[in-house]
């Protein structure tokens, strides 16, 4: 009887480990797979307009925000914060190289991560709410 209980417990633990592993594999945000290599071009335009005053002159801030929210809504909820982090740090190329936006310093982190907030696009993220935490930075102006 004790052997059977041990066997059932071992099987349950093994199933739990397998379930956790498969859930983790499905939620990896990889550029070129779950998110594009250069994600959220409309959000980049919105941020460059609002922060750097160098955005496109053909569109209003409201139109840029709608386009940004539309692009962001097409990215899986569990990858939205990662896509915004890539947007902040620069575009990632297929070769894995990050390219900063010319003529504009790195976007402020709080503002960029706030795009998903209720005042922005109001989109759910991996955190289960419209929120992306601001990454901890060393020596960078946030």
CATH number for the domain formed by residue range(s) 29-133: 1.10.110.10
> Within its chain, how far is the Cα of 52 from the centroid?
21
Q: How confident is the model over 82-91, as a mean pLDDT? A: 80
Determine the pLDDT at residue 133.
Answer: 82
Q: How confident is the model over 5-29, as a mean pLDDT? A: 52
Q: How many CA atoms lie within 13 A of 31 on its CB side?
A: 19
User: Nearest 5°: CA angle at 131, between 68 and 80?
Assistant: 50
Q: What is the pTM of this model?
A: 0.66
Query: In sequence order, which ranges of 26-98 are alpha helices (DSSP H)?
Result: 41-52, 61-73, 80-89
Q: Can you give the residue ranges of every domain in the chain?
A: 29-133
What percent of the chain lies above the pLDDT cut of 70?
Answer: 59
Q: How confident is the model over 69-89, as a mean pLDDT? A: 90
């Amino acid at each position: 009887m004790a052997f059977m209980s041990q066997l059932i417990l071992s099987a349950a633990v093994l199933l739990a480990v397998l379930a956790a592993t498969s859930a983790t594999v499905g939620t990896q945000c990889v550029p070129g797979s779950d998110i594009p290599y250069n994600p959220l071009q409309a959000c980049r335009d919105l941020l460059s307009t609002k922060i750097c005053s160098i955005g496109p002159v053909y569109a209003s801030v409201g139109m840029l925000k709608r386009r940004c929210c539309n692009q962001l809504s097409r990215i899986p909820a569990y990858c939205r914060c990662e896509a915004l982090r890539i947007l902040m740090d620069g575009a990632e190329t297929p070769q894995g190289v990050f390219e900063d936006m010319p003529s504009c310093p790195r976007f402020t982190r709080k503002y960029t991560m706030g795009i998903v907030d209720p005042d922005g696009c109001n989109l759910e993220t991996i955190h289960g709410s419209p929120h992306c935490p601001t990454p901890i930075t060393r020596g960078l102006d946030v």
